Chain A
Amino acid sequence: MRLPPFAYERPRDLYEALELLNTFGKDCRVLAGGTDLLVRMKQGLATPSRLISLKDLPELATINESDGFLNIGTAVKLADILAYEPIQYRWPGLLEAVKSVGAPSIQHFSGTIGGNLCQDNRCQFYNQSKFFRQARQTCNKAGGNTCFAWKGGSDKCHSICQSDSAPILIAMDARITIKSKNESRTIPLEELYSSVGERPLTLADDEMLTEIHVPGPVPGAGCAFEKLTYRSSIDYAVVSAGAYVQTDGSKTVNARLIIGAVARGPLAIAAVEKTLKDRTAGDEEAIDQAGREAMNAAEAFIANNITQPVEYRTQMVSVITKRALSRATKRALSHTDVSEAK
């Protein structure tokens, strides 16, 4: 498979990069690790006339901690996140999610955190070669007006967000910085996702995600990421879940649950917080109920967009939810004093 022609830019600083984005807008794409974008370009799913490489922008490739936040530059490689030692005990949920991305030698040395968050939505009818797609009508995501993943068709695209880091980072209340030539804004990560399959990110054409800010651990809080796959490596999630649970040592005081790989964006299950709040932390009945709620909420979104059956994925939302919440709760209860926990 060959890449189509394009122009290549390797800006020396962020300002130059943003200026290029400003000039060329939707005709150009940011090239980080390339593990998502270059495959789509080979398949003719993305046709930018210009790529802007982040290779020479070390300012986007740093990890540091300040003001209680872990700040990760958009071009930080997944391998570098795994190698950042404090993550082992302070952000174990993020560690689990990053570890689970693809396979170590594929994604970890090339793939970046920004790339993982900004990857395009996927669908088994869309992420195929041009030749494969030619045999059918053009689907919504490819600019046509039908959807093969939705029973009976649909005027909306029912692709899914397969980012593994998004559910856990949203559960952890991460924020992101987005920059353009003339503006810089910091917003909750969940606002990056539009829930529109055709265009899953809210980034404007001249904008770039530059940094992720992850809040430091809070005493009594824990998080966990759970991902169901058929193989131990390579696979995208059948269902994934990021969970955040905060306790007062015995009761749950706050909880957030985000389901991945079922909807057009990471799917927040609002009911879970209400269900768990003020219940004994780790109460099985409460967690079971949360699992059912997550399943009920997700059911409406699950389309035939990956090779595993819809019914099975729906059931698995409950199982994966419960596992993520249980582990997050366990961590919450054992990490009452995070500064010493190791």
Chain B
Amino acid sequence: MNKQSLEIIINGEKYSLAVEPNRTLLEMLRDDLELTGAKEGCGEGVCGSCTVLMDGKPVRSCLTLALEASGSHVTTVEGLAQHGELDPLQQSFIDHGAVQCGFCTSGMLMGAKGLLLENPHAGAKEIRNSLSGHICRCTGYTKIVEAVESVVESSKEKR
């Protein structure tokens, strides 16, 4: 199958690429660009491990064609830290013990990031709801929800 060209901005960097139409965004990130932070946990859009932001919205990169991302801004977990500073969500995940085996973590972070971009004041229930499509087998979710809540709280304090 013929490759088609694709212009995309990933973590702030512009890429001109050519991919086959059946390449998923996840395959392109992991296999072509060696951005292995996004993980494949199920390959059918259920577990959430492959979540990245596309134009600020969380999407399953395993169920998104790379070509569908053409013209978009994509952010992966590798692009979450800015100028060497961890994103507050990353720091909070670390501080609250929200990371155990770590396999779901990058998807969880991107899902939470998408939520907070949309609603910086999300409450516990919204956080749970919005992360309910991310499966975690280690934490029982408690610490993850606490970590996101804490970022919401501290952003309130700052204002």
Q: How far is the CA of A24 from the CA of B131 in the complex (A)?
A: 40
Closest to A1 in B: B43
- List the 3 closest pairs (A to B, CB-CB), nearest first: A103-B133, A233-B132, A8-B21
Q: 1/0 contact trace for A27-46 toward B, CB 8 Å? A: 00001001100110010000
Cβ–Cβ contact B58 & A7, under 8 A:
no
Residues of B in contact with A (beta carbons under 8 Å apart): 1-2, 4, 20-24, 27, 43-46, 48, 51, 57-60, 62-65, 67-68, 70, 111, 114, 129-134
Q: How far is the CA of A7 from the CA of B21 in the complex (A)?
A: 6
Separation in Å of the A65 CB from the closest CB of chain B?
A: 24
Partner of B22, one of A6, A39, A106: A6
Cβ–Cβ contact A39 & B21, under 8 A:
no
Cβ–Cβ contact B45 & A35, under 8 A:
yes
Q: Which residues on B sit within 8 Å (CB–CB) of A110?
A: 59-60, 63-64
- Assuming the contacts A105-B48, A233-B132, asked whether A5 and B1 have C-beta atoms less than 8 A apart, the reply is yes
Separation in Å of the B150 CB from the closest CB of chain A?
A: 20
Cβ–Cβ contact B133 & A6, under 8 A:
no
Closest to A50 in B: B21
Cβ–Cβ contact B59 & A53, under 8 A:
no
Q: Which residues on A sit within 8 Å (CB–CB) of B44?
A: 1, 39, 42
Closest to A129 in B: B44
Separation in Å of the B2 CB from the closest CB of chain A?
A: 8
Separation in Å of the B136 CB from the closest CB of chain A?
A: 13
A274 adjacent to chain B (CB < 8 Å): no
Q: 1/0 contact trace for A194-238 toward B, CB 8 Å? A: 000000000000000000000000000000000000001110000
Closest to A106 in B: B133
Q: Which residues on B sit within 8 Å (CB–CB) of A42?
A: 43-44
Residues of A in contact with B (beta carbons under 8 Å apart): 1-8, 10, 31, 34-35, 38-39, 42, 51, 53, 55, 79, 102-107, 109-110, 232-234
- Assuming the contacts A4-B22, A34-B68, asked whether A105 and B114 have C-beta atoms less than 8 A apart, the reply is yes
Partner of B132, one of A6, A35, A51, A232: A232
Cβ–Cβ contact B20 & A5, under 8 A:
yes
A/B interface sample: 18 pairs, CB < 8 A = A1-B44, A1-B62, A3-B22, A5-B21, A6-B21, A6-B22, A7-B2, A8-B65, A10-B70, A34-B63, A42-B44, A103-B132, A105-B130, A106-B45, A107-B133, A233-B132, A233-B133, A234-B133
- Assuming the contacts A8-B4, A34-B63, A233-B129, asked whether A106 and B21 have C-beta atoms less than 8 A apart, the reply is no
- Assuming the contacts A6-B21, A8-B4, asked whether A35 and B130 have C-beta atoms less than 8 A apart, the reply is no
Q: How far is the CA of A4 from the CA of B22 in the complex (A)?
A: 6
Cβ–Cβ contact A109 & B65, under 8 A:
no
12 extra A-B contacts, CB within 8 A, seeds A105-B58, A232-B132, A234-B133: A3-B22, A3-B23, A8-B65, A10-B70, A39-B44, A39-B45, A42-B44, A105-B51, A105-B111, A105-B114, A106-B60, A106-B133
- Assuming the contacts A105-B130, A105-B133, asked whether A51 and B21 have C-beta atoms less than 8 A apart, the reply is yes
Q: Which residues on A sit within 8 Å (CB–CB) of B21?
A: 5-8, 51
Closest to B62 in A: A1
Q: Which residues on B sit within 8 Å (CB–CB) of A232?
A: 132
Q: How far is the CA of A105 from the CA of B108 in the complex (A)?
A: 10
Separation in Å of the A229 CB from the closest CB of chain B?
A: 12
Cβ–Cβ contact B64 & A34, under 8 A:
yes
